[in-house]
């Protein structure tokens, strides 16, 4: 779409919302503006603006998103281990791509101002304390609280994590306890904001159906990290209510808790079985959400009557919320102190301490870092694809899956650190013999191309002129094998080669074996869908 078309749509969208806001403003007089000024310095949520600005700067500058918008530098800014401070310092504010970034920013744009509104820039009572200054509360305290919360979620989330979602969930939990209905409405508003953001970014969308390699939408959701942030926000909200001696309506809080927890997919408890099988424990997740909603309701609303010894009902309910939070943190410590057992292949491309290689059926160290078997599941799972390892940074990640290469034939891996980055291009080429592929995977860096992987030979079904024929992939290319002996390279387009008295002809994307007057297709060159970036 031409740039001026996009600009026209932006102007139309701005005029529509501005006009709508002006009409409502006239109908509502100045009451809402007065309410905002009573809570915010000059009526503006400065802390939220600054916090979201930090996230955007990290993406554009630190992750080089301004230059590589679609493929920011994400690997060095993930929280791989306590032994890699750069990761856990930046992980909560970095993102893997524009979709991830915009999803968290739009959610935060709705929830962060509500959380800041609950705190307020003005103290509830007259005081001369330094933190009573609304400018300090707006420009220092709230942003500092957000930054600290981000580092907290990075430190105590299990395994590698990246993204602002833990903080976003903390905002949701904090707002929920004080204003349950507002939290529910905010989640509906989040969907509306995403729709508007999508209209700004892509005013007109043209979509073509293509092959998909996407796992289920819930695979990869950092449920434990989301729960960690959410519980931290809820407990902070409960503490604030007690400090201000406020007690919310129990029924509203219970209904709001159920709706918010379900809308935020806190029920999506999942696991992975091997290469391409995923398990979702939906019913168990919903049961846990119901229990969580009950505890959230009881913590700020239960009576102060003694229940166990000197412990009141409200104290016990709050403790039951603290226990899972502390438990998750205690589990995170040994997990995040583990080190990477790097075993890159001999064909790995090494740059700046990183080893990039292709492997199949290798141990997935994102799950098998600790060997556990329970409830029919195991952490001993494998994976296939392009893997990045860095022992110094305790990095181990599968960056391009085997399925992605099968579908698109190419991929990109970006590695680096503060102030430096390198790009490694991945390409797959192959043939399909019957239903089975024989293929090679290349890694290219700085103009140097390396064959990172060659699959096993694939035999042609039946025989040709009494000979067993197979296709072989190796470092030199693709070859024709007869009776277990490599005889000739696969010919180029429009060319032919003779091996063992059989003529092999390549026309377009097919390889034929010619025996007298008979020509048989023995293999077809792999074809790939356009990449996501092209689409």
Segment 142-170, tens digit of pLDDT: 999 999 999 999 999 988 889 999 999 99
523 and 510 in contact (C-beta within 8 Å)? yes
Q: What is the pLDDT of residues 390-429, one digit of tens each?
A: 988 889 999 999 989 999 999 999 999 998 999 999 999 9
Instruction: Report the DSSP beta bridge partners of residue 522.
Output: none
The residue-averaged pLDDT of 337-355 equals: 83
pLDDT value for 531: 47
pLDDT tens, position by position, 459-502: 998 888 788 999 999 999 999 999 888 789 999 999 999 988 88
Residue range 65-117, pLDDT digits in tens:
989 988 999 999 999 889 899 999 999 999 999 889 888 988 888 899 899 99
Average pLDDT value for residue range 299-319: 85
Output the pLDDT for position 211. 59
pLDDT at residue 532, rounded to an integer: 43
- In this structure, are residues 397 and 207 in contact, taking their beta carbons and an 8 Å threshold? no
Helices 98-119, 165-178: crossing angle, 10 deg rounding = 30
Hey, which bits of 180-303 come out as E strands? 270-273, 277-280
Instruction: Identify the weakest region by mean pLDDT among 25-29, 220-224, 330-334.
Output: 25-29
Q: Is it the case that residue 176 has pLDDT exceeding 50?
A: yes
Tell me how far the alpha carbon of residue 443 is from its chain's centroid: 24
For the ranges 131-135, 172-176, 502-506, the one whose mean pLDDT is highest: 172-176
According to DSSP, residue 264 is labeled: T
Question: Domain residue spans in the chain?
Answer: 13-42, 102-335, 457-525
Q: Which residues contact 134 (CB under 8 A, 6 or more apart)?
A: 41, 121, 122
Cβ neighbours of residue 202 closer than 8 Å, sequence gap 6 or more:
none
Taking alpha carbons only, the member of 419, 442, 415, 426 closest to residue 352 is: 415
Reported as type and span, the H/E element at residue 506 is strand 502-507
* Percent of the chain's residues with pLDDT above 70: 87
Q: Residue 24 pLDDT more than 50?
A: no
């Amino acid at each position: 779409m031409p740039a001026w078309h996009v600009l026209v749509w932006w102007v139309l969208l701005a005029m529509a919302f501005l006009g709508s806001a002006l009409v409502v403003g006239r109908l509502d007089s100045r009451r809402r503006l007065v309410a905002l000024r009573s809570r915010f310095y000059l009526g503006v949520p400065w802390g939220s603006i600054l916090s979201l600005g930090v996230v955007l700067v990290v993406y554009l500058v630190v992750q080089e998103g301004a230059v590589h918008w679609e493929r920011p530098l994400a690997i060095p800014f993930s929280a791989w281990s306590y032994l890699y401070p750069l990761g856990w310092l930046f992980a909560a504010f970095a993102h893997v791509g524009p979709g991830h970034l915009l999803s968290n920013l739009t959610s935060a744009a709705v929830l962060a101002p509500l959380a800041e509104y609950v705190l307020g820039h003005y103290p509830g009572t007259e005081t001369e304390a330094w933190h009573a200054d609304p400018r300090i509360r707006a420009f220092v305290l709230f942003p500092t609280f957000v930054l600290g919360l981000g580092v907290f979620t990075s430190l105590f989330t299990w395994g590698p994590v990246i993204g602002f979602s833990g903080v976003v969930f903390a905002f949701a939990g904090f707002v929920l306890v004080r204003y349950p209905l507002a939290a529910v409405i905010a989640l509906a508003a989040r969907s509306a904001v995403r729709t508007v953001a999508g209209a700004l970014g892509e005013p007109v969308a043209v979509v073509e159906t293509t092959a998909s390699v996407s796992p289920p939408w819930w695979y990869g959701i950092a449920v434990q990290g989301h729960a960690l942030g959410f519980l931290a926000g809820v407990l902070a909200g409960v503490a604030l209510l007690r400090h201000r001696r406020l007690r919310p309506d129990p029924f509203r809080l219970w209904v709001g808790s159920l709706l918010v927890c379900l809308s935020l997919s806190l029920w999506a408890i999942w696991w992975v079985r091997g290469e391409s099988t995923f398990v979702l424990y939906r019913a168990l997740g919903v049961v846990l959400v119901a229990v969580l909603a009950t505890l959230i309701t009881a913590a700020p609303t239960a009576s102060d009557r003694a229940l166990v010894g000197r412990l009141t009902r409200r104290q016990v309910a709050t403790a039951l919320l603290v226990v899972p939070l502390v438990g998750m943190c205690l589990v995170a410590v040994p997990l995040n102190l583990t080190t990477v057992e790097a075993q890159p292949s001999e064909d790995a491309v090494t740059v700046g301490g990183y080893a990039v290689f292709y492997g199949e059926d290798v141990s997935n160290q994102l799950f098998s870092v600790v060997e556990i078997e329970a409830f029919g599941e195991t952490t001993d799972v494998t994976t296939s694809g392009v893997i990045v390892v860095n022992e110094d940074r305790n990095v181990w990640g599968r960056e391009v899956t085997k399925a992605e290469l099968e579908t698109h034939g190419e991929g990109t891996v970006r590695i680096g650190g503060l102030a430096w980055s390198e790009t490694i291009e991945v390409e797959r080429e192959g043939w399909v013999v019957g239903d089975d592929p024989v293929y090679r995977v290349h890694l290219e860096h700085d103009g140097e191309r390396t064959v990172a992987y060659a699959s096993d030979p694939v035999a042609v079904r039946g025989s040709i002129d009494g000979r067993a024929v197979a296709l072989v992939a190796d470092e030199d290319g693709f070859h024709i094998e007869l009776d277990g002996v490599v005889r000739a390279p696969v010919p180029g387009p429009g060319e032919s080669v003779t091996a063992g008295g059989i003529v092999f002809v390549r026309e377009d994307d097919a390889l034929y074996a010619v025996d007298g007057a008979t020509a048989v297709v023995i293999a077809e060159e792999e074809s790939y869908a356009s990449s996501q970036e092209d689409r």
